[in-house]
A and B are shown apart, each in its own frame.
Chain A
Amino acid sequence: MLEFFTAVLTSLSTGAIYALMSTALVLVWRSTRVINFAQAGQAVLSTYIGYEVTTRSGSYWIGFIGAVLSGAIIGAGIDRFFMRPIFKRVKSGPIVMIAPVVATLGLLGIIQAIVGFVWGLNYLTIAAPVSTEGLKVFGSVIAFSPFNLMVLISVTLSMILLTILFQKTNLGLALRASAYSPEIAKLSGIKVEAIRTIGWALAGAAGGLAGMLYVPGSYLYPNSMEVLLVFGFIAAVIGGLDSLFGAVAGAMILGFAINFSTTYISYKLVFPTAFVILILVLLIKPGGVFSSKKGRKD
């Protein structure tokens, strides 16, 4: 019973981190129709910045803000100064379909190299602001710490904020309109390109947040977000790539599947579980688990 209870809690907190990455991927996919593989690089770079700020200021929370802000700036910068020129330049030939994706891969490589160059290839860590020791429940220690709880709360809060932004504000309306129909949005006078850049900024911020919540329980090195990128992608596919709600739900499904299979079957099953789920979704419901006409509205 306690094992079950623990598995539920850890599922929620790992799912929460996947949700940040899947949300970031969906935000960019909706506006740009590109799976942004550089997201792993953006997230790791802003987490390194968060690490640097944390070490210098001595406060995790200042580092936290640093990571989220720099993530937003990096995301916006990449869209404005990298993606836009590529879309403008590569207009013809069969490579058009793969050029933007290939470009994000190249960017991932560049960012990882720069990070390795600046901070070295050592495994770094960021001290958590609250204890990472497992909580005591009825006298026994479970694999769920106050920090895990903090992760859960932070992600829930940011998802609520994001929902409010999207559903209740003018900016959110412009973001949704530009994603669903860039042409109608333009003809209505909305500056779609600028709005797209804001979408990239939000995605970048989510990546920075993911890094600051992931690293204290793990390590920071140039490739440390690749795995999160993959899980984020799988979660986004489960949710149908287009829907923010789907991205979060998909992340939770993935979090539960991974944690339960590793708790009850074998700790070796992290990747096989994720991969099998991905293949199953692609085979059975390639449009995502929630893909009905109704499900498209977030």
Chain B
Amino acid sequence: MTLVVSNLTIDHGAIRAINNVSFQVATGQLTAIIGANGAGKTTLLRSLSGLKESKSGSATWNGDSILGRKSEDLARSGIMHVSDGKSVIAELTVKENLALTGLWRKDKKDVAKATEEVIELFPILGERLSQTSGSLSGGERQMLAIGRALIARPKLLLLDEPSLGLAPLIVEQIFQTIKSFVAKMNLTVVLVEQNAMGALKIADEGVVLNLGTAVASDSAKNLLNDPAVRAAYLGF
């Protein structure tokens, strides 16, 4: 079970957003894609979940091409994308948000079980089930978005900036939670982050994007110790 992205190129109108990017993620591994704002991280992720058309190159999951397929089909085949901006539907309640990924699943018993597990993972959601999601705090929304994805029992999780706009303490908590459930559920994860330090700390591998091009690709540990990466992205 691997995600293989090779020579992927994506245009944003006249602008090249992603230029000839290649990387691989092995099963059960967490790869962090880091880079500054505007590096093309979100665009890359959106093409992997069918939200954005690519220009050339390929991306396969377990050997099957995933480019150009419909988002809902990819979601149903186990590729869950948690988009940025606290992707919850504010008008729906917490319970309804969680139910979305269970609507189409045949195994309703497992849906119930998965929902219980998610509430165990994020107990705060259990207390807020009948509130509208619009009333949640930023951190709670992020938990809800991730929890909703987990109920689909995904194999590949695409996380877009889970730390965006959260207080440092909450960020730490979210990263730790991600690390714990990834290990427990044997998930393959692509984590896109501006918070390079936090992301690399929990990642196995890392890819550094700069203006749409992959400028470095190595194990997370090596990247953390790389002086150039430290200077450019980690701030010391």
Instruction: Identify the A interface with B (CB < 8 A).
Output: 170, 173-174, 176-177, 180-181, 183-192, 293, 296-297
Contact = CB atoms under 8 A, between A and B. Distances in A.
B80 A187 contact: yes
Of the candidates A189, A191, A293, the one having the most CB atoms from chain B within 10 angstroms of its own CB is: A189
Main secondary structure of the interface of A (DSSP, over half): helix
Contacts of B100: 173-174, 177, 184-185, 188-190
B72 A183 contact: no
A173 B103 contact: yes
Nearest to B88: A184
Interface string B88-103: 1111100010011101
A187 B87 contact: yes
B236 interface: no
Nearest to B154: A189
A189 B76 contact: yes
Given A174-B103, A187-B71, A188-B103, 10 more contacts: A173-B100, A174-B100, A180-B91, A184-B100, A188-B100, A189-B72, A189-B104, A190-B72, A191-B72, A296-B91
Contacts of A177: 89, 92, 96, 100
A187 B83 CA distance: 8
B152 interface: yes
A240 to B, nearest CB: 13
Contacts of A183: 51, 71, 83, 87
Contacts of B89: 177, 180-181, 184-185
B154 to A, nearest CB: 10
B148 interface: yes
Contacts of B82: 187
A297 B99 contact: no
A188 B75 contact: yes
A190 B103 contact: yes
B95 to A, nearest CB: 10
B155 interface: no
Interface string B14-58: 000000000000000000000000000000000001110000000
A143 B96 CA distance: 46
A297 B71 CA distance: 27
B72 A186 contact: yes
